[in-house]
Amino acid sequence: MKKYLTLLLAISILSGCSAAAQEDSTKETKADVTVKAVEKPKTHNINVPNPQVTDDSTLKKIGDTVTDRKGELTLKAVKEVNKHFTLGGIQYAVKDIKLMHYVPDYSMIDFFHPYTHEEEFDFVKVGIEIENTSKESYHFAPVALMKVNESIHKTWEDDFYLEELNGEIAAGQLKTGNVGFIVDELDGLSEVEIISGDLVGDDKKKKASPVRLVIPISE
């Protein structure tokens, strides 16, 4: 009888271990499935609203105005450009140019003090897209110099959008964003000239000459 009870006890223990192992296996399988289900494809670039400038995407016609917690923005002129260039392994596009009048919210005034002491101002914004289609990294400034109406000169250091379009662009990386330059109050734009920087490799050698683009603006 004692041997029979011992045998039953051993069978019970083995059954319990088997069930536990099967349960752990099921949990692992479910965990694996869950991880695979939430895995997302890699993206190169994500458009994020600029932290210091009101979003102008709804401004389509001259005179359109939008207001949010950052300030009030009015469209004064717009030009769809859509010019594309190839520099070495870089695809570079100038998408659009806008002249806007901006009244920043009081909470934003300190940010703009290094660029202007005016409490409201005009600025020119250029929409940019850069894609590195090669397997090498480069250094590039999409707008190193900008001339507005032939008399106003701005350099990359005057850009207040600060969307990290300048500098290194890694292999396969896509950058989309804007540069913006404060100007004296303008009735409109007659012409904008954009000169990019050199395309420079990681070895600090020049790979391509700058792009020069002259854009007549018709309102």
pLDDT at position 17 is 46
33 and 71 part of one domain: no
Q: Is 23 part of any domain?
A: yes
Asked if residue 172 has pLDDT above 80, the reply is: yes
78 and 28 part of one domain: no
163 and 201 part of one domain: yes
Q: Is 45 part of any domain?
A: no
23 and 72 part of one domain: no
pTM of the entire structure?
A: 0.77
Q: Is 146 part of any domain?
A: yes
Q: Is 209 part of any domain?
A: yes
148 and 83 part of one domain: yes
143 and 196 part of one domain: yes
pLDDT band at 47 (very low <50, low <70, confident <90, very high): low
Range of the domain at 176: 65-216
User: Mean pLDDT throughout 72-87?
Assistant: 96
Q: Is 53 part of any domain?
A: no
Identity of the highest mean pLDDT range in 9-18, 25-34, 42-51, 99-108: 99-108
pLDDT band at 94 (very low <50, low <70, confident <90, very high): very high
pLDDT at position 56 is 96
Structural domains of the chain, count: 2
Q: Per residue in 195-208, pLDDT tens?
A: 999 999 999 999 99
Task: Please report the DSSP string for the chain in residue order.
Answer: -HHHHHHHHHHHHHHHHHHHHHHHHHHHHHHHHHHHHH-----S------SSS---TT--STT-EEEETTEEEEEEEEEEEEEEEEETTEEEEEEEEEEEEEEE-GGGHHHHTTT-S-SSEEEEEEEEEEEE-SSS-EEE-S-SEEEETTTEEEEGGG--S--S-SEEE-TT-EEEEEEEEEES--S--SEEEEE-PPEEETTS-EEEPPPEEEEE---
Q: Is 201 part of any domain?
A: yes
97 and 204 part of one domain: yes
Asked if residue 155 has pLDDT above 70, the reply is: yes
139 and 95 part of one domain: yes
pLDDT band at 190 (very low <50, low <70, confident <90, very high): very high
82 and 146 part of one domain: yes
Q: What is the CATH number of the domain that holds 74?
A: 2.60.40.4170
99 and 30 part of one domain: no
Asked if residue 184 has pLDDT above 80, the reply is: yes
109 and 193 part of one domain: yes
pLDDT band at 46 (very low <50, low <70, confident <90, very high): low
Q: Is 49 part of any domain?
A: no
93 and 5 part of one domain: no
Q: Is 59 part of any domain?
A: no
